[in-house]
Amino acid sequence: GNYGGPLRPQVHFSPPQGFMNDPNGMFVDADGLYHLYYQYNPTANRAGNQHWGHATSEDLFTWTNQQIALFPGGPEEGIFSGSIVIDGNNTSGFFPNQTNGVVAIYTLNTPESQTQDIAYSFDGGYTFTKYENNPVIDRNTNQFRDPKVFWYEETSRWVMVVAYPVDFEVGIFTSENLIDWQPESNFSHYGVTGLLYECPNLVPLPIENSTLTNDTQAWALLVSINPGAPLGGSITQYFLGSFNGTHFDPLDSRTRFTDFAKDNYAGQFFDNIPFGTRQVSMSWASNWQYTNVVPTDREGFRSAMSVAREHWIQDRPRVGLSLMSYPANISAAFDSELASNSSLGNGTLNVDFGQLESRALYWEANITGLGDSTSLQGTLNFTFSSSSTGEYVSGGTFISSGDVWVDRGHSSAWSNPFFTDKFSTSGLYDGAGTWRLSGIVDRSILEVYLNGGEEVATSVFFPTEPLDTAVFRVGGINESASASVAVWGLKAA
Residues interacting with ligand FRU, by CB under 6 A?
A: 21-22, 39, 50, 80-81, 107, 145-146, 198-199, 266
**236: Cα separation from own chain's centroid:** 9
Distance (Å, whole) CA 9 – CA 220: 29
Smallest gap from residue 458 Cβ to ligand FRU (A): 15
Our CB check for ligand FRU shows the closer of 226 and 272 to be 226
Coil, strand or helix at 298: helix
Q: Where are the beta strands (DSSP E) in 168-302?
A: 169-175, 182-188, 197-206, 217-225, 235-243, 248-250, 256-257, 265-269, 279-284, 301-302
**With respect to ligand FRU, which residue has the nearer C-beta, 283 or 444?**
283
Q: Which residue among the candidates 22, 146, 299, 364 is catalytic per the annotation? A: 22
* Nearest distance, CB of residue 250 and ligand FRU, angstroms: 22
Say if CB 108 and CB 117 are below 8 A apart. Answer: yes
Q: Are strands 435-442 and 78-86 parallel, antiparallel or unpaired?
A: unpaired
**Closest separation in Å from C-beta 142 to ligand FRU:** 12
Q: Tell me if residue 22 is catalytic.
A: yes
* Closest CB 475 distance from ligand FRU, rounded Å: 41
How far apart are alpha carbons 106 and 43 in whole angstroms?
21
Nearer to ligand FRU, 265 or 363 (CB): 265
What whole-number distance in Å separates Cα of residue 187 and Cα of residue 189?
Answer: 7
Instruction: Give dist(CA 358, CA 212) in Å, integer.
Output: 44
Q: CA-to-CA distance for 106 and 118, rounded, in angstroms?
A: 6
146, 198, 364, 447: which is the annotated catalytic residue?
A: 198
d(CA 65, CA 60): 13
- Annotation marks residue 184 as catalytic: no
State how far the Cα of 296 lies from the Cα of 314, in Å rounded to an integer: 37
Please, which residues have CB within 8 angstroms of residue 302's CB and are 6 or more apart in sequence?
Answer: 18, 19, 20, 45, 46, 286, 291, 292, 294, 296
- Measured from the CB atom, the residue of 50 and 174 that comes closer to ligand FRU is 50
Nearest approach, Cβ of residue 107 and ligand FRU (Å) = 5
Nearer to ligand FRU, 186 or 386 (CB): 186
Positions marked catalytic: 22, 198
